Amino acid sequence: MPPPSAPTPKATYHHGDLRTALLEAAVVALREGGIAGLSLRDCARRVGVSHAAPYRHFASKDLLLAAIAGQGFAWLAAAGRAAMAGQRDPQARLDAYGQAYVRFAVAHPEHFRVMFTAQIADCTEADQEVADAAFGLLRDAVAAVQAASPDAAIPDADTAAVAYWSRPHGLAMLLLDGRVPPEAWDTPQKLAALVHAALG
Amino acid sequence: MPPPSAPTPKATYHHGDLRTALLEAAVVALREGGIAGLSLRDCARRVGVSHAAPYRHFASKDLLLAAIAGQGFAWLAAAGRAAMAGQRDPQARLDAYGQAYVRFAVAHPEHFRVMFTAQIADCTEADQEVADAAFGLLRDAVAAVQAASPDAAIPDADTAAVAYWSRPHGLAMLLLDGRVPPEAWDTPQKLAALVHAALG
DNA sequence: GCCGTATGTTGCTGTTGTCAACATCTGGCG
DNA sequence: CGCCAGATGTTGACAACAGCAACATACGGC
């Protein structure tokens, strides 16, 4: 019988849901040591499992990161949809997406950083799809605004979408990289004002 | 004396300018394998030097990256200053900075990625200073615009600076991460139009 | 009750970051 | 000119890591 004093008593040989547990452990590890400090063996140790067990669920370290990225994109799209659901005006919907975008980044910094650091080539097709879905959501919102107010200043819908996306994305990156003093966004109000200013 | 980057087949025991050579080799390695693929030993091998030689110039791998980041911030500030020098109108100066910002990121993707990925805590004070200088340049340009047109909509100068900074920064990140199809920015004209749209 | 398969373990190889001890060169000082 | 101190480069070592292979165990269908 295994030593009964372990934090996870290791009652069973099989873990039960190792994949999920590894993803959660990886996020904690990312929070503590950043992407460079992440190691599969450390994740395995945190979960109380041998150093090669993760390979039954992730073919490589990069694919673990890709899975985290995919999860993040799914959450981001869900957050964006939820935020837009409360708005009717196209412009208001777009701004709601931008606010949700930055709020997501601040709430899940590890996910966000992995989402935009992992090399896309290494991603699964499924992960690629959820990422594209999150962007498609924004492109549609931008297109709706363009349709509502025919400025004709920006003809290309994709260009307009990228241009708008740049704003919350850049702000989120600057916040996460510590380029903005924390006291400038330590309350939801301050953060919302900052996002509002960035969205323009 | 041959220039340091000449193919010296290890004529001398000492390299001559190993520090510079290592920085250059690291940038090439970053281009080929990304930050995750960078290794000090590989840099040493590229330069034709033993695996521990880099430690005479960089106390750790992170400090090598910090040095690259510092170099990048210095270049970025120089590019921004040069771009603004040709403009008199405050708004035009600010837009010139934004254009230069994205052009720098596209021209030096490895530097740019390191600049905004390396943990700031690991940076030398000198590197930190050049980074702050690049941001200060932008804050001054934003303040000049605010002073010229008293909209009073955005009272805080720092908030306005961060808000404006978000735009070129986000666009640069999206371009470098491959989130925008390359054919959308494969000519200077297309790129300038994209930046113009993002700056708003 | 039995067996195929999914899951977890142990052990190995090659690479890396980092340190310590040693070797070599360069510049200044007599 | 000769010599020594410090700067620079080398060799060897250690621990941690990614990833692979062979083996062990448990679950689920028959």
- Looking at chain B, which residue has its C-alpha nearest residue A114? B117
- Does A163 contact B171 at a Cβ distance shorter than 8 Å? yes
Q: Do domains B1-58 and B61-199 have the same CATH topology?
A: no
- Does A194 contact B117 at a Cβ distance shorter than 8 Å? no
**Closest nucleotide to A10, Cα to C1':** C8
**What tens digit of pLDDT does each residue of B90-101 get?**
999 999 999 999
Min Cα–Cα distance to chain B from A165, Å? 8
CA of A23 to C1' of D7 (A): 48
Q: The domain A1-58 is classified under which CATH number: 1.10.1740, 1.10.10, 1.10.150, 1.25.40?
A: 1.10.10
Output the pLDDT for position B2: 40
Count of positions (residues) in chain A: 200
- Does A166 contact B163 at a Cβ distance shorter than 8 Å? no
Output the pLDDT for position A15: 78
Q: Model confidence at A4, in pLDDT bands (50, 70, 90)?
A: very low
d(CA B7, CA A107): 50
**Closest nucleotide to B17, Cα to C1':** D8
| A60-199 is classed CATH 1.20.1060.10 | no
Given a cut of 60, is residue B13 above it in pLDDT?
yes
Given a cut of 70, is residue B153 above it in pLDDT?
no
Which amino acid residue lies closest to nucleotide D21, measuring CA to C1'? A52
Contact B195, B102 (CB under 8 A): yes
Domain chopping of chain B, boundaries: 1-58, 61-199
Contact A73, A115 (CB under 8 A): yes
Q: Is the CB of B50 under 7 A from strand C?
A: no
Contact A110, A27 (CB under 8 A): yes
Output the pLDDT for position B14: 72
**Which nucleotides of strand D lie within 7 A of protein CB?**
8-13, 16-22, 25-27
Q: Which of A136, A67, A72 is nearest to A104 (CA)?
A: A72
d(CA A43, CA A25): 6
Residue that the structure tokens 């040989």 belong to:
A13
Output the pLDDT for position A120: 63
Output the pLDDT for position B12: 77
What architecture does CATH give domain B61-199?
Orthogonal Bundle (1.10)
- Does A171 contact B168 at a Cβ distance shorter than 8 Å? no
In the chain, the amino acid numbered A64 is L
Min Cα–Cα distance to chain A from B78, Å? 19
**Closest nucleotide to A53, Cα to C1':** C8
Provide mean pLDDT across the span A34-45. 96
Output the pLDDT for position B11: 62
In the chain, the amino acid numbered B148 is A
Tokens of B26: 């690291």
